Structures are given as C-alpha cells and as structure tokens.
Structure 1
C-alpha cells in the first residue's frame, strides 16, 4: 500500500520538508510507503484530500512570528470531512539567495508572504532599495533568479541545494526561535490526543457573544492555547472563531464543554483530536 501525501510545492518548500519528515516517521513506525504530491497552493492541497485525490495533506497553520496562515483555516472551515491527525512543529531558518554579486545591486526580492514578513527587519536594514514581491511558495521565488541577475529570494538551505542557487546570507530570520506549526490532515477521524482544534460561528452578531463560550472552558478548567477570528465573508463585522485547547475528547470535562458550546453556536466543527510532534533536528537539508 502506498499512501499519497499532498503538500505545498514545488519541491524545496518548508511544507515539503515537513512532509518528508512526516513520511519518514510514518514509514518507520507503520511500514507504509508514501508518495509525495506537490500542489500549487494550500487550498488545492486540502481540496485534494477532500476530493479523494490524495490520502493525506500536510499544511502550515501557524508561525511563531507572523501568526496564523489564514488560507489554511478558511479552507478547512469550508471543506467538510477533513480531520487533523497530527501536529508538527518545524524550526524555520530563512536564507537570502541570489546569483548577483552584491547586495547593493539587488532590486527585487521574491518569496512567500510569510517568509518576507519573518525577515522584514533584515530586508529593511540590508536591502532598503529592493522591491518585495510575494510568490505562492518560497521555492517558486527561485525560478525568477535565472532570468533576473538583480533579483534575490528568501528560501531554505534545502531549496538552495536542490536548485543550485548560492546562499548569499544565511539565517536572516528577524527572530532566532522561528517555528512553523503544520497539520497532517486526512478524511479519517482521530479519537485520541493531547490537543483539540475546533471552529464555530454564532447565530447572530451581538455584544459579548464570545464571553459565554470562553466562560464554558474556564468553568471546566480547560486550557486554551490559541484563539483566532476570521471573517465569515458574508457581512462586515461577522466572524468565525477558531480555538485550540489542551485535552482529549474522551475526557468528561471536554465532553461537557463541547456539548454546552454546541448549544450556543450556529455551527460547531471539531477539526481533530491529535498529538503534536516537535522537530528539533531536521536531517533533510534544514539546519
């Protein structure tokens, strides 16, 4: 049996690196062989699982510096039947790549919006003259360098090796402890873990609408580790809410809280009950 795993491509992205690490873990623990399938964006990566084109998707959800990856939450909310199987926390080390000779000659810098944001201080300090252009992935940015000698890109060490592009400056992160959290998502339901992710909407927008749900978790002494709001894309000022909490869905306090939350919300989606694997040392090209 070969399990197909979708990820944001092309090869050399941080998403591919996280996928390689997950695939290696899966093969080592279960013996299952894997096939990695890159997609041009995060939405299509998740849609491939929902449509049954692939078995699993690995997608970024949050960065320790720049916050949430909004398209992941938005797409997960829109698609039915997807469940988080595992969380992966990956250290991210950005590098400045160029075929140019000097930083002074750089006119354009390409990279994924998250990477540009995570290196903003370095860019302002060392390349104030450069025009920043967002791409779908850090690897896509490298395709511009062969045609543009005055261009640079922000990408991983692995990407530099794969595409044979020199690293001009290594480790340009604005903050040293830069990590990205990924979710491993499939159509199978996972019933146990130490983390729960959910999303919900309310029947109507009114003052204090979020207080009652938060009070439910406080009364059950459940620790919330993340809360985010996203626009419903229907009315201005109308929001969806996403929560991460510690616990297992089989626990009595969690069951009580989810039952009470269900009575307050218009739509409640439990995206998964899962464990998180922290990757301290990445052996596949990431230092």
Structure 2
C-alpha cells in the first residue's frame, strides 16, 4: 500500500519540504510507503484529495510575516468532505542563489512574490540596482538563474540542492522567526486534537452579527488563536468568518460552544480536530535529494 500525498508544487518549494518531512514521519511511525504528487496550485491540490486522486494533501494556510493564505480557506469552504488531520509549522529560511561571482554584478533577482517581500531589506542593501521579477513559485526561475550569472534567486536550501546552485548568502530573511503553517487534509474525520478550525456564515449582514459567536466562545472560556474574514463572493460587504481555537482542557466546553454556535449561523463547517507538529530546521537540512 502506498499513500499518495498531494502538495503544492513544484519540487523545491517550502510546501514540498513540509510534505517530505510529514511523509517521513508517516513512514517511520506506520511503515506505510508514501508518494508525493505535486499540483500547480492549492485549489487543485485540495480537489485531488476531494475526488480521491490523492489520500491526503498538504497546503499552506498562514505565514507569520505575510499572513493568511486565502486560497486555502476559500477552497476548504467550497469543497465538502475534507478534514484537517494535522498542522505543520515549518521554519522558512530564504537563501540567495546565483552563479555570479559577486552580488554587485546581479542585475535581476527572481523569486515568489512573498519571498521577495520577506527579504526586501536585504535586497535593498545588497542588490539595490537589481530588477525584481516575481515568479509563480520560488523554483520556476532557477533554470534561468542556472545559466545567467548576472541573475539570482531567493529560494530554499532544498531548491539549491535540487538545481545544484551555489548559495551566495544563507538566511537572508528580514525577520528571523519567519515560519509557515500547513494543514494536512484528507477525507477521514479525526475526533481528537488540541486545535479546532472552523468557518461560518450568517443569514444576513447586520450590526453586531459577530458579537454572539464571540460571546459564546468567551462564556465557555475558549481561547481563539486566529480569526479571519473572507468575502462570500455573493455581495459586497458580506463575509465568511474563519476561526482557530484551542481545546486543551476545555473539550466539553468546545463541544457545547459549537452546538450553540450552530444556532446563530447560517452555515457552520468544522474543518477538523488536529494537533500541530513543529518542524525543526535541522530536519530540513537532513532531507536527501
């Protein structure tokens, strides 16, 4: 038996790194073989799980610098039958890759828009005259960089290894504690876990409509770790709300709160109960090609 794991591609992205480490844990703990299957975007990754082409999917949900990944929330809301099995927190360490001899000769820097934004101070200091080019993924531009010594790219350690590109400077993040949170999603329902993620909508937009749901959580002494709003895509000013909460010792209170919440929302979706694995960067360094 081989477990098919869908993830946001291509190879060399931080999504692939998180997925590889998750797959290693699965193989070590269960003995089940895994196979990674990259997809071009988050929506297709989750759809592959929903329609049975993959057993699980790994998708980014939040970056500590750039914030929420809206496509993940939107897709989970629109697709039925998907449940979060586990959370993964991956440290993001950006590196500057180039075949050029010195940084002063760099004319073009390629990377994903988020990577460029997360290294802006370093770029302003070391390559102030370079043209910044946004790529669909961190690894797409590496083939260009491999053949042009006047260009460089911001990418992961794994991307440097895969494309055999020299790291001119490591860890160029503007903020050292940069990390991305991922969700492992499947069609199996998990009943236990320290965290719960959910989304809900209201019948209509009116003053104070969000007060009652928040009051329910407060009355049950439940800690909310994240709350986000997203447009319903139906009418301007109408929103969906997404919440992460901690269960810990308040499991009965959470059950009661979710029951009460269902009476005050038009639609309530529980995306899953799960625990979070904090990945150490040393695990990323040990990945084999």
Quickly name the TM-score band, shorter chain normalised.
over 0.9
Map of 1:37 onto structure 2: 37
**How far 1:38 sits from its partner (Å)?**
0.9
Matches within 5 A, 1:56-67: 56-67=56-67
1:242 aligns with 2:238: no
Map of 2:266 onto structure 1? 266
Offset from partner CA, 1:244-286 (integer Å, 9 cap, x none): 0001799321121111211111111110000001112433437
C-alpha deviation, 1:86, in angstroms: 0.3
Conserved 8 A contact 2:146-2:165: no
SS of the aligned residue for 2:18 comes to helix
What 5-or-longer segments of structure 2 have no aligned partner?
A: none
- SS of the equivalent of 1:230 reads strand
Matching of residues 215-226 of structure 1 within 5 Å: 215-226=215-226
Whether the 8 Å CA contact 1:248–1:254 is kept in 2: the answer is no
Mean alpha-carbon deviation: is it higher for 99-108 or for 42-51?
99-108
The whole-number CA distance in structure 1 between the counterparts of 2:249 and 2:189 is 12
1:168 aligned residue? 168
Q: TM-score, normalised by structure 2?
A: 0.93
Rounded to whole Å, the distance in 2 between the matches of 1:229 and 1:132 is 31
Q: Does 1:214 align with 2:207?
A: no
Match of 1:203 in 2: 203
Specify the alignment match of 1:119 in structure 2: 119
Q: CA deviation at 1:84?
A: 0.3
Question: Any conservation in 2 of the 1:217–1:257 contact (CA below 8 Å)?
Answer: yes
Q: Aligned runs of 1:8-87 on 2, under 5 Å?
A: 8-87=8-87
* Worse-matched range after superposition: 246-255 or 149-158: 246-255
> 1:184 aligned to 2:184?
yes
Deviation at 1:108, TM superposition (A): 2.5
SS of 1:265's partner is: coil
Shift of 1:136: 2.6
- Number of aligned residues: 287
Query: Runs of 4 or more off by more than 4 Å in structure 1?
Result: none
1:165-191 superposed Cα distances (whole Å, 9 cap, x missing partner): 111111100111111111111111111
CA distance in 1, matches of 2:164, 2:187: 37
TM-score by length of 1: 0.94
CA distance in 1, matches of 2:122, 2:199: 35
Please list the CA deviations of residues 139-168 of structure 1 after superposition, one character each: whole Å capped at 9, or x if unmatched: 223123135443221111111011011111
Maintained 8 Å contact 2:64/2:180: yes
CA change 1:249–1:85 in 2 (3 A) is farther
1:144 maps to 144
Question: Which moves more between the two structures, 131-140 or 79-88?
Answer: 131-140
Summarize the Cα distance change of 1:120–1:31 in structure 2 as closer, same or farther, 3 Å threshold: same
8 A Cα contact 1:248 1:273, kept in partner: no
1:201 offset after TM fit, Å?
Answer: 1.1
Distance 1:249 1:138, change over 3 A: farther
| Secondary structure of the corresponding residue to residue 105 of structure 2 | coil
Structure 2 match to 1:6:
6
Q: 1:254 and 1:25, CA in 2 relative to 1: closer, same or farther beyond 3 A?
A: same
> What is the SS of the residue equivalent to 2:263?
helix
Q: Which residue of 1 aligns with 2:110?
A: 110
